[in-house]
Chain A
Amino acid sequence: MNNHELKAQYEYRKRKSAEGMKNQFISFILMIFLTLVAFLAVGYDGFPKTFVIPIILLLACVQVIFQLYYFMHASEKGHGMVMLFMYSAIFVAFITVLCFMTIIWW
């Protein structure tokens, strides 16, 4: 590669990573907002428990998706295998929690 091409490629890459940074910053703002909504939903007395619990669990899942795909770069290429690991782990995690919550009765 000659010097000119190298420089053009560098400029392109810098712009691309600046764009990635912008997405990460937006997801940070959204995560703070989701956290705030979850805390306010719990702090406000007017909502029934059966309504608030599914909402805050959903907000937590959305936050984790932001964290995985933007902060941990899982949306970039080459994350197929590692996401298979994570989804298998999430599956096992779900079964574990379900088991413990249904078999323990004391």
Chain B
Amino acid sequence: MNLLDQKFTPQTWPEHPETATHEGKNKFIGFWLFLAGETVLFASLFATYLALKDSVPNSEHALAADIYSLELVFIMTAILLTSSLTSVYAIYHMRNYNFKQMQLWFFITVLLGASFLALEIYEFNHYVHHYNFTFSSSAFSSAYYTLVGTHGAHVCFGLGWILALIFRNQKRGLNLYNAPKYYVASLYWHFIDVVWVFIFTVVYLMGILG
């Protein structure tokens, strides 16, 4: 019988289901290579932001220290960090061959991710309407929206990805075919949080310091 269709019990389930098959091993190594590429992508966006921070045409334009709010960013950070923990829980249940719990914790991750995204949309909307801080108002605003917006787009993509996995595998249950898929999705989600750690530090905290 094909290893990918094999039925397991918690006792026979491999300790590392994500790398138990050849395909899983390839996905694992390929996905980390992708994350390394993403690191460089975000580095170039951070570099652009740092180079263009507070570069505005005249004094009517808002600067970083005028618009950012500590409270909102702290709430967003706490939500995203918690969603990182819930996806760790999901992988814990995957390794224990507990499909229902894994699906549940991935779903909670999606809910937290969606609330993060909602706060980010609120934030952008607030900047546009209260400070006239739009994508094209200055070099600073373009660099800001490109960096933070690219991160937001990653969150959005991650939500769609995890939801697709949850619904697609609802009836199939856990096997060696879909375990690597769930695993790399959780890696992606953690990576989003890694990028956010630098965004809240470099963009928001250092922005508020002026």
Chain A residues close to B by CB (< 8 Å): 6-7, 9-10, 13-14, 17, 20-21, 24-25, 28, 31-32, 35, 38-39, 42-43, 49, 52-53, 56-57, 59-60, 63-64, 67-68, 71-73, 76, 78, 81-82, 85-86, 88-90, 92-94, 96-97, 99-101, 104, 106
**Do the beta carbons of B44 and A96 come within 8 Å of each other?**
yes
In the assembled complex, the CB of B202 is this many whole angstroms from the nearest CB of chain A, namely 8
**Do the beta carbons of B36 and A42 come within 8 Å of each other?**
no
Q: How far is the CA of A104 from the CA of B50 in the complex (A)?
A: 10
* Chain A CB within 8 A of B51 CB: yes
In the complex, the number of residue pairs spanning A and B with C-beta atoms less than 8 Å apart equals: 132
Residue of A with least CB distance to B86: A28
**Do the beta carbons of A85 and B78 come within 8 Å of each other?**
no
Q: How far is the CA of A59 from the CA of B16 in the complex (A)?
A: 31
Q: How far is the CA of A41 from the CA of B122 in the complex (A)?
A: 26
Residues in B whose Cβ lies below 8 Å from that of A76: 16
Chain B residues close to A by CB (< 8 Å): 10-12, 15-16, 19, 28-29, 32-33, 35-37, 39-40, 42-44, 46-48, 50-52, 55, 70, 73-74, 77-78, 81, 84-85, 88-89, 91-92, 95-96, 187, 190-191, 193-194, 197-198, 200-202, 205-206, 208-210
In the assembled complex, the CB of A104 is this many whole angstroms from the nearest CB of chain B, namely 4
Closest 5 CB pairs of A and B: A93-B43, A100-B47, A82-B32, A89-B36, A89-B39
**Do the beta carbons of B50 and A101 come within 8 Å of each other?**
yes
In the assembled complex, the CB of B63 is this many whole angstroms from the nearest CB of chain A, namely 15
Contacts A28-B84, A72-B187 supplied; 17 other A-B pairs, CB < 8 Å: A13-B15, A17-B95, A21-B92, A35-B81, A38-B200, A38-B205, A39-B74, A60-B202, A67-B190, A81-B29, A81-B32, A82-B32, A86-B35, A89-B36, A93-B40, A96-B47, A101-B47
| CB pairs A–B below 8 angstroms (15 shown) | A9-B11, A24-B88, A35-B77, A38-B205, A60-B202, A68-B194, A71-B193, A76-B16, A81-B29, A85-B33, A85-B35, A86-B32, A89-B40, A92-B43, A104-B51
**Do the beta carbons of A89 and B37 come within 8 Å of each other?**
yes
**Do the beta carbons of A99 and B47 come within 8 Å of each other?**
yes
**Do the beta carbons of B209 and A49 come within 8 Å of each other?**
yes
In the assembled complex, the CB of A4 is this many whole angstroms from the nearest CB of chain B, namely 11
**Do the beta carbons of A67 and B44 come within 8 Å of each other?**
no
Q: How far is the CA of A86 from the CA of B92 in the complex (A)?
A: 23
In the assembled complex, the CB of A49 is this many whole angstroms from the nearest CB of chain B, namely 5
Say whether, besides A24-B85, A25-B85, A106 and B55 are in contact (CB < 8 Å): yes
Q: How far is the CA of A13 from the CA of B91 in the complex (A)?
A: 14
Residues in B whose Cβ lies below 8 Å from that of A25: 85
Residues in A whose Cβ lies below 8 Å from that of B50: 97, 100-101
Q: How far is the CA of A24 from the CA of B92 in the complex (A)?
A: 10
Q: How far is the CA of A28 from the CA of B197 in the complex (A)?
A: 13
**Do the beta carbons of A17 and B92 come within 8 Å of each other?**
yes
Q: How far is the CA of A38 from the CA of B209 in the complex (A)?
A: 12
